[in-house]
Amino acid sequence: MPAKPEGVYPDARGQWYFKVTLGKDPLSGRREQITRRGFLTATEAARARRKLLGKVDAGLVKPSPSGITVDELLDLYLDGLDADQRLSPKTRYDYRIYAATWVRGYLGKKRVRDITPEILLTWQRKLLKEGGVIRVKKMEGTTKGKAQNGVAKTKPLSPNTIRLARAPLSGAFKLATSSGIIAVNPLLHIPQPKARRSMPRHWSPDEARTFLGLMEGDRTYSIWAFLMGSGLRIGELVALRWPNVDLASGVVHVVEFSTYLGHEIVSSSGKSQDAVRGIDIDAGLIKVLKAQQKQQKIERLAENNYVESNYVFTKPDGGPYHPQYLSRLLGKYTEELDLPRLTAHGLRHTCATLMLANGVPPKVAAERLGHSDPSLFMNLYSHVTPTMQREAAEKIGAALFG
């Protein structure tokens, strides 16, 4: 009977695993051990062990600082992003939220070296089935739906949201690979779940006209009309100022942007490289903006503590709107009016769909909306193209066959 390979052991399930002891941890002085499981035969385990030992001898795998955990690695990565400012403040803020909501609760206490593709696949499947786990302080007298035993769960994630969940973890593992903590990024071996193609939520022309008709006379009418007519992002609308509006020539210059970190509104550099743009507005939108000017003059006289600003769309006291507030307000209005529920971004989708359905060339529509890539724009609004294809066929037929 052949001798058992060195460093290879059977487990209770009839499979094999191996262990490799590294040098001393430079911080703790302890020797670190790597264990890999799940091999069907001792020979396979021995072969994988020799391969790992080769990487250790080549200096590709080194003792990690104090057996660094995923939580500690995420802290290093996220703090580094803040220090280098390589990403926008909004993206850095979102990465911290994603890590706290979807990563730390499942993986945070594990050592980085112990994270295998199998562990990550299990994590990803849990997110799809159960949602994230947020660590919170234990609450007394908790009820269903609230935090219990120090954690709170979110709803199951969609395949599209898994991409967001993976983002901070992917960056952290890249840091670990470049720092020599691990030899290979284990997340590279885990494919993302196939995203379900979904149609952007929007209104039909009749629904859009119905909404504007029912909202006429409300002080927020100008906001909804301008969002649908211009296609601006909500962060572009709340940052729009009167000096950037030329009513005489019918052009609005989109040069300022805002986003939010939690509830705090901050300036932004825009969603894409083509976000800075000029858009033409028709007589209807010019009328809407002139009515908005008149409304602000009335409110300035009526409000003793009016906040002076040059924002185009303001609250009754003159202060700027929060993007989330407007989205929630629109959702409330649509439910009250018995229309399909939309957020402010849904009005942008409505504008895009109306343009394409009425023959506006896709490149022109993409430029108006500030999309950096017209091909991605067309993929997003592919539900409109059948109508455009039919019109194209009829025009070609008329030209060829009369």
Expressed in angstroms, the distance from the first to the final Cα of the chain is: 88
pLDDT confidence band for 98 (50 / 70 / 90): very high
Domain CATH number, residue 222: 1.10.443.10
Number of structural domains found in the chain? 3
Task: Give a yes or no: residue 402 inside a domain.
Answer: no
Domain that holds residue 85: 70-189
pLDDT confidence band for 27 (50 / 70 / 90): very low
**SS percent in the chain: helix, strand, coil, step 5:** 50, 15, 35
pLDDT at 198: 66
Instruction: Tell me the C-alpha to C-alpha distance, in Å, between residue 46 and each of 61, 182, 326.
Output: 18, 20, 61
272 and 386 fall within a common domain: yes
pLDDT at 386: 61
Task: Give a yes or no: residue 317 inside a domain.
Answer: yes
53 and 147 fall within a common domain: no
Task: Give a yes or no: residue 156 inside a domain.
Answer: yes
User: Residue 72: how many CB atoms within 10 A of its CB?
Assistant: 17
C-alpha to C-alpha distance for 309 and 332, rounded to whole angstroms: 27
Residues 6 or more apart whose Cβ sits within 8 Å of residue 303: 316, 317, 318
**Which is more confidently placed, 32 or 136?**
32
349 and 391 fall within a common domain: yes
pLDDT tens digits, residue range 303-336? Answer: 888 998 899 999 999 989 998 899 999 999 999 9
pLDDT at 371: 81
C-alpha to C-alpha distance for 296 and 232, rounded to whole angstroms: 21
SS3 readout for 290-324: HHHHHHHHHHHHHCCCCCCCCECCECCCCCECCHH
Domain CATH number, residue 125: 1.10.150.130
**Which is more confidently placed, 181 or 374?**
181
pLDDT at 55: 85
pLDDT tens digits, residue range 171-211? Answer: 999 998 888 788 889 999 889 888 776 667 889 889 999 99
Q: Which amino acid is at 71?
A: D
Torsion of CA 38, 21, 77, 27, to 10 degrees: 150
Decide: 313 and 237 in contact? Cβ < 8 Å.
Answer: yes
Residue 25 has pLDDT above 80, yes or no: no
Radius of gyration of the chain (CA): 28
Q: Within 13 Å and on the Cβ side, how many CA atoms surround 291? A: 16
Report the mean per-residue pLDDT for the chain.
83
pLDDT at 193: 85
Task: Give a yes or no: residue 3 inside a domain.
Answer: no
Residue 110 has pLDDT above 60, yes or no: yes
- pTM for the structure as a whole: 0.65
Residue 148 has pLDDT above 70, yes or no: no
122 and 249 fall within a common domain: no
Decide: 168 and 87 in contact? Cβ < 8 Å.
Answer: no
Task: Give a yes or no: residue 228 inside a domain.
Answer: yes
Least confident of 17-26, 71-80, 264-273: 264-273
Nearest C-alpha neighbor of 127 from the set 94, 172, 161 = 161
Torsion of CA 265, 302, 252, 377, to 10 degrees: 50
Q: Which residue stretches of 28-116 are H helix? A: 42-57, 70-84, 89-98, 104-107
Percent of all residues in the chain with a pLDDT value above 90, rounded to a whole number:
44
Task: Give a yes or no: residue 63 inside a domain.
Answer: no
pLDDT tens digits, residue range 256-304? Answer: 887 767 666 766 665 556 678 899 999 999 999 999 999 999 999 988 8
292 and 321 fall within a common domain: yes
